Structure formats: structure tokens, C-alpha cells
Structure 1
Amino acid sequence: MKPLIALQESEAYDAGYNIGYTIGKYLPLVVVIVIAYLIYRYIKNKSKK
């Protein structure tokens, strides 16, 4: 049990957690923006024809 506590208190663990949290927070937003742009481009190209 002590190694697990030591791992949770280390700086490397905190940095990894923050990176994962940041990616998990912004990745869905980026995916939605990309999907919206692709739909916009598809509709724009379709209306020109």
C-alpha cells in the first residue's frame, strides 16, 4: 500500500494527470469543431453545384 501512496504523491504522477485531464477536457471540443467544419464545407460545396 505504501508504494501506491508514494506514487500518487510524486511530481511525475501529478504532471501526467494534468496532461491527461487537459487532453480529455479539450479533445471533445476540437472534435466537435472539426466535424462542424467538415459539415459546413460539404454543404458549401454541394450548394455550388
Structure 2
Amino acid sequence: MEMNKVILIILAILLPPVAVVLKDGVGKHLLINIVLCLLFFLPGVVHAIWLVTKS
């Protein structure tokens, strides 16, 4: 696992929208992640980790 991915996973746990922006840019995934974080924090974290770890 490369260092960038480790840093993104840590960011996904602490600040999910930031990790999504760094991985995928501004787009539909960022909007989905913000909504998930506003509803409840854990789904936003899961979504961000999924997005960071997928190939």
C-alpha cells in the first residue's frame, strides 16, 4: 500500500469530504459524501473509505 493511500484513509476517517475531494475531485461523490456526513457521520466515513480504497 502506498503512502498516499494511507494518508487518504486517515483523512477519510477524520475528514471524509476532504479525502473525497483529494481522491475524486469536486463532483457527484463529493455531494453524496457531504449529504451522508450531514445525516450521520459514519456513513460518510464508510463512503470515503470505499472511494479511497477502490482501484
Q: TM-score, normalised by structure 1?
A: 0.31
Tell which has more relative contact order, 1 or 2 (C-alpha 8 A, sep 6+): 2
Q: TM-score, normalised by structure 2?
A: 0.28
